[in-house]
Amino acid sequence: MRIFLRFAVTVAGLGIAVISSDAAGQKPSDPKADKKKPVAAATAPIDVKPIVAKLKSGDEAQIKEALDEARLAGPTGAAAAPAVAEVLTRGLSLPLTQSAVETLGDLESDTGSAALAQYALHRNAKVRRAAVKALTRTKGAAASGALKRALSDGDAVVRGTAASGLGALKAKDAVPDLFTALDHRVNEAAASIGQLCSAEQCEQLAGRLGKIPFDVVTGGLDQVLFRPTADVPDDAKVKIIGRIREQGTIEGNKFLRDVQKRAVAPAASARVRQALDQAVMATAGGAK
């Protein structure tokens, strides 16, 4: 009887210990607990008043410090974007100008797009490059308008960044401008056209096969073939596959085989997969 009582007490003690452990809540190593905390902290807006005060000070050292702090804050410091845009528009030294432009990009607020659009026309190519890159992150109507203008910039990096940026912004109204840029050797325009084109425009892109380097055109056609059917109907995709098949080249076969490997359901319909299979077989024999 004494042995039984001792055993019962021991078990009860263990039970209390287990209950106490559970009552303490989730363990620090619990992955769910760990995941929830950083996300909440990362998205919480910060108090930008100290940053804004430094920006308005007129002192270059303080302005630099404020820009550094804003860049570190990223989108959580978006409320500082109007003040950064204001100080940028007033005029800064060249190093601070570039820093302010890059800061607006890091803040990712469309309130900075109008100021960035002005600096996308700056005399210094490095500043223009930074401005165009930042505009792809700040977005908005002012951003897409500035990027369309930048397609004809004298600097190749600016033109290429602008072309890629219009695809990232989903600026479908820019497709005609992108075709003009593509025909003027802005190769980055092909991928953006592939992301944005209507069925008819996508076929126009396929019509560039043989006129523009194959890898440039297929950089856009690859985008088309993996867009949802609601965006680009299967009829248009099958026609594009047919155009590549008609080329009968080794590079065409290689491209088709690569697409074939990735075209699994639901990324591609049965009809598109069948067209790919047939095209791969038809182009396997060699090149013209």
Tens digits of residue pLDDT in 136-145? 999 999 999 9
User: Which residues on adjacent β-strands are paired with residue 212?
Assistant: 209
pLDDT confidence of residue 265: 87
The whole-number average pLDDT for the span 251-270 is 94
Q: Which residues contact 232 (CB under 8 A, 6 or more apart)?
A: 197, 199, 202, 224
Examine the pLDDT at 4 and tell me if it is beyond 80.
no
Range scoring the smallest mean pLDDT among 7-11, 167-171, 201-205: 7-11
Examine the pLDDT at 25 and tell me if it is beyond 90.
no
pLDDT confidence of residue 37: 43
Confidence of residue 42 (pLDDT cuts 50, 70, 90): low
Tens digits of residue pLDDT in 189-227? 999 999 999 999 999 999 999 999 999 999 999 999 999
| Gap between the Cα atoms of 100 and 98, Å rounded | 5
Q: Is 138:113 a contact under the CB 8 Å cutoff?
A: yes
Examine the pLDDT at 232 and tell me if it is beyond 50.
yes
Range scoring the smallest mean pLDDT among 40-49, 160-169, 197-206, 274-283: 40-49
H or E stretch covering 200: helix 199-206
SS3 state at 247: helix
pLDDT confidence of residue 286: 57
Name the CATH topology of 48-161. Answer: Leucine-rich Repeat Variant (1.25.10)
Examine the pLDDT at 75 and tell me if it is beyond 70.
yes
| Gap between the Cα atoms of 88 and 229, Å rounded | 44
Examine the pLDDT at 29 and tell me if it is beyond 90.
no
197: left (phi over 0), alpha (psi -120 to 50) or beta: beta
CA angle 80, 81, 84 (to 5 degrees): 90
Mean pLDDT of all residues in the chain? 88
In Å, what is the CA distance from 137 to each residue of 51, 140, 186, 187?
A: 21, 9, 21, 21
